[in-house]
Each structure stands twice: as C-alpha cells, then as structure tokens.
C-alpha cells in the first residue's frame, strides 16, 4: 500500500494549480495558466530527475482515485473546490446556455471549461481539479505511455486541441 499521507502536499499543489487554471479560464485571464505552467517549467528544468517526480505524482493521483475513503484532509480539499465554485456561481460572468433536451451548460469560449467533466456548478461545483493540472500542464512533459489518464472520459484531448 503506497503512503498517501506523504503524497498529500504535492497532490494538494496539483489541486490548487488546477483550481488556478480553472479560475483563469472562467474570468478570461490566461495569466493564471501561464503562471502555473511557468512554475512547472522551472521545476522540470531544475533536474533531469524531476520528470520522474511528476510521473510518480501522476501515477499516485490515478491510484488515489481508486480508493474510496475519507482522509484526514479531504474536508479541507473539498472546501477549496467549493470556494472556487461558489465564487463562479456568484460572479457576474456566469452565463448558461441550453442544449438538447434542455440540458443547461456553462456558456464559455474556453475549451478547458467546456470539456472538463468535473465542473457542474448546478450540483457539486468542482470535482477533480487536480486533473486539470495534469491534463493541461503536466502531460506535455510526459511520454505517451506515462501521460495522466483522467477520470472524465478523456476530456483533456478536447480541452488541449487548441494549445
């Protein structure tokens, strides 16, 4: 059994980075994503061993998704996602459009927000923000066989087509 407690700080960094990318996409400010990508670039350039670190972090994140339990920091992590979702809900920028069968979806030009399956401002809010970080930022540094596989039906391919 892997040690998930020692894995929490980098996992939480991935969550917060994913939330930053989502927020930047929502408010139409690409500087959020640029900042997150620049920090990752700096880390990757720091040592040849750092690619192994992000590969391992991706593997641990995928593995963590398979365990259904409440950890000692889950409430805190959920609150982060809820706060960003609430800020989106309460924003003047929030607009919806209706699709087939009256399905209400977020009206946005952002391919990331359109494709990300963990964004449902009507019900849950945001779930799996760390996957945004891996799909949008980390995967471009990983080999094809090591790329992070998200739990939202390969949304990352749709979200990164224009990048």
Mean pLDDT for back-to-back runs of 10 residues, the chain (163 residues): 64 92 94 97 93 90 72 77 88 85 82 76 76 91 86 60 51
Establish how many alpha carbons lie within 13 A of residue 22's alpha carbon, considering only the half-sphere containing its beta carbon.
35
- The answer to whether 74 and 12 are in contact (CB under 8 A) is no
The CA distance from 26 to 16, in Å, is: 15
Residue 1 pLDDT: 43
**Nearest C-alpha neighbor of 36 from the set 118, 137, 128:** 137
Q: The whole model's pTM is what? A: 0.84
- Phi (first) and psi of residue 29, to 5 degrees: -120, 105
The CA distance from 25 to 16, in Å, is: 14
Residue 35 pLDDT: 97
Structure-block tokens of residue 104: 């209400």
DSSP notation for 41-71: HHHHHH-TTHHHHHHHHHHHHHHHHT-----
**Nearest C-alpha neighbor of 27 from the set 127, 95, 98, 105:** 95
Residue 78 pLDDT: 81
Could you count the other beta carbons within 10 Å of the beta carbon of residue 145?
6
Residue 162 pLDDT: 47
The H-or-E segment that residue 31 falls in is helix 31-46
Looking up tokens 């930047």, which residue turns up? Answer: 24
- The answer to whether 119 and 113 are in contact (CB under 8 A) is yes
């Amino acid at each position: 059994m892997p040690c998930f407690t020692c894995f929490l700080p980098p996992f939480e960094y991935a969550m917060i980075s994913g939330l930053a990318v989502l927020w930047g996409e929502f408010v139409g400010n690409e500087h959020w994503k640029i900042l997150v990508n620049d920090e990752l670039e700096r880390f990757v350039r720091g040592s040849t061993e750092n690619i192994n670190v992000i590969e391992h972090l991706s593997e641990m994140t995928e593995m963590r998704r398979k365990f259904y339990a409440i950890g000692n920091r889950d409430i805190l992590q959920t609150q982060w996602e809820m706060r960003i979702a609430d800020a989106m809900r309460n924003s003047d920028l929030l607009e919806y459009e209706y699709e087939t069968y009256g399905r209400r979806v977020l009206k946005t030009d952002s391919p990331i927000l359109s494709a990300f399956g963990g964004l449902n401002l009507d019900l849950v809010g945001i779930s799996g923000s760390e996957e945004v970080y891996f799909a949008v930022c980390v995967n471009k540094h990983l080999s094809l066989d090591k790329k992070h596989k998200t739990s939202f039906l390969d949304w990352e391919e749709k979200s990164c087509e224009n990048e």
